[in-house]
């Protein structure tokens, strides 16, 4: 019988692809990586850390969001900032769960040259499921799945279910994961970026845990991309780009985890997403440079915690227009206090009044 799923082949290093279909795109990605590294190399360590803080915060948030888990952005940012040695004025102390999720990312990226092992994967898995449950359901934590029920990805109403993918039986997982880990830890002549792409698909195909496979897949991918970059910080977010293309992500995974072992389509999709992520990071780098310069210019300006929080929020992606009422709501103060905070910053040359002709007065950062 012809195999239906990838794991039914004796796969491992026997994946195949067409290099000629990928060479141009791979070269473009490598050139863009070099450009970003060149931009960052010309900046100080503080700016590098600030840029990585923005990128890694988004990466952690979006990787969880892909799986329907919404984390508090301020707590994620606070946790990552502490790991990077960046001041966290105005940010809340991270909760236990957030700290665990961040520790997984930091270990993968900062220790990208450390060998992958079963124990390391188990520690990562335990960190993202500290209660031993996925939602209200108990799961096997810090160990590969052992249940007898098939691990299936299913959609549709009860009685009309469509099976998109069925992972290998639990008893086959330990041997498959040994082969996977041995391959990860062995130097090969495959381009490191392509190796990250192959690892992503291979881990998804095995689906070794009861839950959390997607997040750990992207953690392994980030680890291998950091190793490929030769840098213990991240300056672009694959997870954020995958979230933007979530529908096509699941479509390409379904298409390439079934059928033949030729994974050219997957590798092309991965490289396209990686290229888009790197291009988007240029905007992030420019914004962080501007933000750093802003704080340097205003380092002697006295501000209270509310003001610091709101200014950082304006730099980090404030949605809509800043008004007195929004300031009061976000900082949990009265409108009068909010107006005093804003007026004080206008007097100090930090904010300006917008002249857009709207009915309500709104304010902008003075970035000149």
pLDDT exceeds cutoff 60 at 38: yes
pLDDT exceeds cutoff 70 at 197: yes
Task: Say how far apart CA 123 and CA 76 lie, in whole Å.
Answer: 19
357 and 322 belong to one structural domain: yes
Q: Looking at the domain assignment, is residue 1 inside a domain?
A: no
pLDDT exceeds cutoff 60 at 1: no
320 and 281 belong to one structural domain: no
Domain boundary among 264, 291, 318: 291
307 and 245 belong to one structural domain: no
Q: Looking at the domain assignment, is residue 296 inside a domain?
A: no
pLDDT tens digit sequence for 315-352: 987 888 999 999 999 999 999 999 999 999 999 999 99
pLDDT tens digit sequence for 174-194: 999 999 999 999 998 999 999
pLDDT band of residue 301 (cuts 50, 70, 90) is very high
Q: Looking at the domain assignment, is residue 192 inside a domain?
A: yes
Overall domain count for the chain: 2
Q: Cα 357 from chain centroid?
A: 39
pLDDT band of residue 45 (cuts 50, 70, 90) is confident
Q: Looking at the domain assignment, is residue 132 inside a domain?
A: yes
pLDDT tens digit sequence for 136-186: 999 999 999 998 988 888 777 677 777 888 999 999 999 999 999 999 999
Expressed as residue numbers, the domain containing 338 is 301-365
The pLDDT score that the predictor gives to residue 273 is: 98
282 and 346 belong to one structural domain: no
Q: Looking at the domain assignment, is residue 71 inside a domain?
A: yes
52 and 142 belong to one structural domain: yes
pLDDT exceeds cutoff 60 at 2: no
Mean per-residue pLDDT, 256-265: 91
Q: Which residue, among 67, 30, 34, 366, has the nearest Cα to 216 in the 3D structure?
A: 67
């Amino acid at each position: 019988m012809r195999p239906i799923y990838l794991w039914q082949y004796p796969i491992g290093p026997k994946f195949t692809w067409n290099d000629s279909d990928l060479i141009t795109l791979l070269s473009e990605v490598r050139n863009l990586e070099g450009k970003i590294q060149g931009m960052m190399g010309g900046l100080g360590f503080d700016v590098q850390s600030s840029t990585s803080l923005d990128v890694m915060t988004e990466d952690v948030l979006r990787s969880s969001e892909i799986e329907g888990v919404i984390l508090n952005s301020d707590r994620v940012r606070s946790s990552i900032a502490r790991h990077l040695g960046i001041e966290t004025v105005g940010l809340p102390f991270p909760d236990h769960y957030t700290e665990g999720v961040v520790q997984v990312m930091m270990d993968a990226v900062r220790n990208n040259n450390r060998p992958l092992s079963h124990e390391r994967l188990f520690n990562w898995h335990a960190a993202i499921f500290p209660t031993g449950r996925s939602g209200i359901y108990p799961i096997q934590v810090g160990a590969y799945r052992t249940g007898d029920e098939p691990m299936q990805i299913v959609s549709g109403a009860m009685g009309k279910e469509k099976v998109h993918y069925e992972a290998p039986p639990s008893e086959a997982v330990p041997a498959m994961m040994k082969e996977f880990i041995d391959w990860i830890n062995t130097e090969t002549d495959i381009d490191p970026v392509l190796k990250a792409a192959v690892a992503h698909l291979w881990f998804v195909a095995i689906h070794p845990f009861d839950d959390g496979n997607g997040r750990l897949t992207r953690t392994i991918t980030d680890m291998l991309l950091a190793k490929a970059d030769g840098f213990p910080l991240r300056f672009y977010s694959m997870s954020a780009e995958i979230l933007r293309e979530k529908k096509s992500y699941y479509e390409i995974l379904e298409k390439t985890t079934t059928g033949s072992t030729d994974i050219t389509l997957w590798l092309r999709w991965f490289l396209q997403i990686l290229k888009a992520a790197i291009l988007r990071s240029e905007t992030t780098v420019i914004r962080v440079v501007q933000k750093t310069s802003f704080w340097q210019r205003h380092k002697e300006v006295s501000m209270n915690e509310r003001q610091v929080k709101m200014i950082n929020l304006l730099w980090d992606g404030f949605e809509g227009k800043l008004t007195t009422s929004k300031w009061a709501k976000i900082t949990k103060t009265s409108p009068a206090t909010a107006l005093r905070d804003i007026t004080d910053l206008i007097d100090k040359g930090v904010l300006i009044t917008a002249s857009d002709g709207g009915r309500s007065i709104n304010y902008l950062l003075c970035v000149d």
